[in-house]
Amino acid sequence: MIGKTYTTMLGGKELSIETGKLAKLVSGSVTVRYGDTVLLVTAQASDSQSKLDFLPLTVEFEERHYAVGKIPGSFHRREGRPGEKAILSARITDRQIRPLFPKGYRHETQVIITVLSADGQNAPDVLGPIGASAALSISDIPWAGPTACVRVGQIDGQYVINPTAEQLTRSRMDLVVAGTRDAVMMVEAGAQTVSEEELVGAIEFAHKEMQGIITLIEQMRAEVGHEKFNFLEELDLAKDYVPELTEKAKAGGLRDALLTKGKKERSTKTKGLRDSIIAGYVPDPEAEGAAELTTALKNAYAKVEKQELRRLILEDNLRADGRDSKTVRPIWIEARPLPRAHGSAIFTRGETQVLGITTLGTERDEILIDDLTEETGDKFLLHYNFPPYSTGEVKRMGGQSRREVGHGNLAKRAIRAVLPSFEEFPYVIRVVGEVLESNGSSSMATVCSGTLSLMDAGVPIKAPVAGVAMGLVMEGENYRVLTDILGMEDALGDMDFKVCGTAEGVTALQMDIKIGGITPQIMREALAQAREGRLHILGKMAEVLAAPRPELSPTAPRIVSMKINPELIGKVIGPGGKQVRELEAMGAQVTIEEDGTIRIFSADAASAEAVKAKIEAVTREAKVGDEFDGTVVKTAAFGAFVNLFAGQDGMLHISQISEERIQNVEDALKVGDKLRVKIVNIDDRGKIDLIRPELEGKVAPRTPRTGGGDRGPRRDDRGRDDRGPRRDDRSRDDRGERADRPPRDREQVQWRSAEPPFPDRVPPAPAAPKEGGEE
């Protein structure tokens, strides 16, 4: 039998990992199946060591549309660049496996996750990390796994492992957790404002549930795993210089240099100290071997800096800018700095500054999501831009980086939890975070500036959201949690833990660990400290904007919503869309839904109201009891036809025109006359009977007409035709008979030109015409 399959139960369903069947030429290859979702995951390393000074690891997440029985919608009908969801899925795997490669390992390593089948209920994003862990564990690539990854939801107060897509719609949280046997390594979450304790409980639950997966992969490694290859660890020429450089740096004032406020000033002082020390070792930079020695000394000095900074934090509770571990950097905020944007705000925290901008649009502006799920639209967009000038650097500018996608998604999840529903606020919302300065926590500043710009635009969010990035420095059992970390604290520390939320609870978080993992106790402490920092930031935000502005921004477009009878949608659209084009020519966009909901979008409120009035006129329906100022458009012997509104007339019977009996309608009303009328009856064919309101109760009510076929005359209560005069110039009486000859009944008409077919039947004598009319 080809291949070997390993199985375990996860969340009440079978998880299987198969190896030895597909892609056998690669170092590590597995197939992961959960429900009808199937992934192929491969891991391969290059034969030679790279000269790069960092780990050259790449993780690719490949979505194949055949996995859901679809042909790609692109022009070439094949998959193109990975979409946002694929990038985020790849980042989940990367963040889980990267910390466990050995120090000094520099072989180019590639993990490729290919979705072969997707059932639409069991998400492939958390299966990819499981497959990567298994593939790396059985390969010959040096790696300190295994790890596992699961998703946790919370439904009706209960935690659920790997909830289905349907269950996630009812869940209060969407939490992804990765970890080793002993510790948690990565957390990613979006939530509907849950407490810190609920999150810790969910993380502990996830870590417990993933133990079966780790046991399974350990069994695979023991049975089919390859021996790990030896890699040539870089010769660390710097380590021999570290003790001596440490003494020289301390004597030269390294402590004071590290505690200098200001990123540029601090960098200038530390580099100046470094260069002066190195000059003592390399008097001639052009001499043979000088370049190699200079590089080694710079690496050694970097280690000295890192050690001293970590010592200051752990022993003296002092950080690079002089703060203690719990202090947030100074904050200043400006609302509405951009005069034409719908909403805008600048949020500055220390040397991190983000300009947040909100733009409001119509349903036509929603983004179409075409991945392995059903095609859907997203009415909330958040884009995070990180230009090179924000860090004072010069770099090539291209498309959106994976980092920008990841940071933007975190901010988006944080803010989405407080947005009003589309029914409450029928706008597509786009928030952009332009990072202008960056010295740590720019994604969290994007959350703050984005929230402020939404409130500035007048978007009725449920509560303000703020974010803060937490750090960790840990040596053995000694550790310290840091609030609002700097860029260098992120680089030299052991954890980057971003927490976003309102005053009531957490809406999103993201945690990455550079060490083997952290305990629940450290996580609880970090979350509690993050809450203190978040409340402080929210207080600063409230000093500028405590709540959304009561009115929509004057530059924001207006959306007017209305509802019509769905049967009248065709009248709004018109033949070939003529009517709706005329409406949009009035300066508005019109969207029509099947249930009769119409939304009118215009930059000018007056134009929107004008379009609404036009639609109301086109779709107006008459109701019994409604009163109108009508216009007589036609008179007849039996009454007058009165136009109530565009396309709708009613009949005012002669008996309902005046309190006194009249013989001729035109004695009282003429075409063009204006009068107030009221609807007293609408028959089943939609024909309307009117009365003059002031005569109600003073004249005998007319018996309502009953319906009939679409053809033939309408009859009053005495069976008489009230359609009006025939279309010739010969006058007829109120019964419709020719006035210039005696009336005839049907039998007379039948027998007028022949002998009676039955001698015993004699035609009745014609009735003498009555004087005048009865009505």
Same domain, 81 and 203: yes
- Domain assignment present for 131: yes
**Which among 163, 192, 224 is the end of a domain?**
224
| Secondary structure (3-state) at 166 | helix
User: Per the annotation, does 490 bind a ligand?
Assistant: yes
- Domain assignment present for 50: yes
- Which residues, 6+ apart, have CB-to-CB distance to 695 below 8 Å? 656, 658, 659
pLDDT at 399: 79
Same domain, 166 and 307: no
Instruction: State the CATH number of the domain containing residue 383.
Output: 3.30.230.70
The domain total for the chain is: 5
* C-alpha neighbours within 13 Å on the C-beta side of residue 111: 31
- Domain assignment present for 441: yes
Instruction: State the CATH number of the domain containing residue 567.
Output: 3.30.1370.10
Residue 184's region, left for phi above 0, alpha for psi from -120 to 50, else beta, is beta
**Which among 224, 257, 277 is the end of a domain?**
224
- Domain assignment present for 553: no
- Domain assignment present for 549: no
- Domain assignment present for 229: no
- Which residues, 6+ apart, have CB-to-CB distance to 636 below 8 Å? 665, 722, 723, 724, 725
Tokens of 84: 């946002």
Distance CA 99, CA 57 (A): 11
Same domain, 568 and 540: no
User: Which candidate, 246, 331, 289, 236, places its Cα nearest to that of 540?
Assistant: 331
State which residues form the domain around 595: 558-619
Instruction: State the CATH number of the domain containing residue 689.
Output: 2.40.50.140
**Which among 495, 516, 544 is the end of a domain?**
544
User: Which candidate, 464, 507, 459, places its Cα nearest to that of 358?
Assistant: 459
Same domain, 445 and 481: yes
Same domain, 635 and 719: yes
pLDDT at 773: 42
- Domain assignment present for 230: no
Same domain, 133 and 207: yes
Stretches where the chain sits below pLDDT 70 are 1, 233-238, 369-371, 373-376, 703-775
Residue 339 dihedral angles phi and psi, to the nearest 5°: -70, -30
Same domain, 346 and 424: yes
| Secondary structure (3-state) at 359 | strand
Same domain, 302 and 347: no
List Cα–Cα distances, 233 to 102, 453, 562, in angstroms.
9, 50, 70
Write out 498-555 in H/E/C secondary structure.
EEEECCCCEEEEEEEECCCCECHHHHHHHHHHHHHHHHHHHHHHHHHCCCCCCCCCCC
CB 152 within 8 Å of CB 202: yes
| Secondary structure (3-state) at 120 | coil
β-bridge mates for residue 38, sequence order: 33, 117
Distance CA 675, CA 669 (A): 9
- Which residues, 6+ apart, have CB-to-CB distance to 161 below 8 Å? 10, 11, 12, 150, 151, 152, 205, 206, 209
CB 199 within 8 Å of CB 507: no
Distance CA 532, CA 768 (A): 103
| Prior bond of 757 cis (ω within 30°) | no
pTM of the model: 0.79
β-bridge mates for residue 568, sequence order: none
Which DSSP category does 327 fall into?
Answer: P
Tokens of 627: 């009163």
Tokens of 315: 């022993």
User: Would strands 343-349 and 688-691 be described as parallel, antiparallel, or unpaired?
Assistant: unpaired
Amino acid present at 439: N
User: Per the annotation, does 125 bind a ligand?
Assistant: no
Residue 428 sits at the vertex; the CA angle it makes with 462 and 401, to the nearest 5 degrees, is 95
Tokens of 479: 């550790």
Tokens of 545: 């904007």
List Cα–Cα distances, 404 to 365, 386, 398, 669, in angstroms.
22, 7, 12, 75
Same domain, 276 and 404: no
Report which secondary-structure segment, H or E, holds 203.
helix 196-209
Distance CA 225, CA 726 (A): 100
Same domain, 358 and 269: no
Distance CA 324, CA 128 (A): 40
CB 78 within 8 Å of CB 62: no
Same domain, 606 and 631: no
β-bridge mates for residue 333, sequence order: 347
Report which secondary-structure segment, H or E, holds 109.
strand 107-117
Residue 258 dihedral angles phi and psi, to the nearest 5°: -70, -30
User: Which candidate, 598, 567, 568, places its Cα nearest to that of 583?
Assistant: 598
Same domain, 656 and 540: no
- Domain assignment present for 550: no
Distance CA 698, CA 464 (A): 63
pLDDT at 711: 38
Q: End-to-end CA distance of the chain, in Å?
A: 100
Amino acid present at 179: G
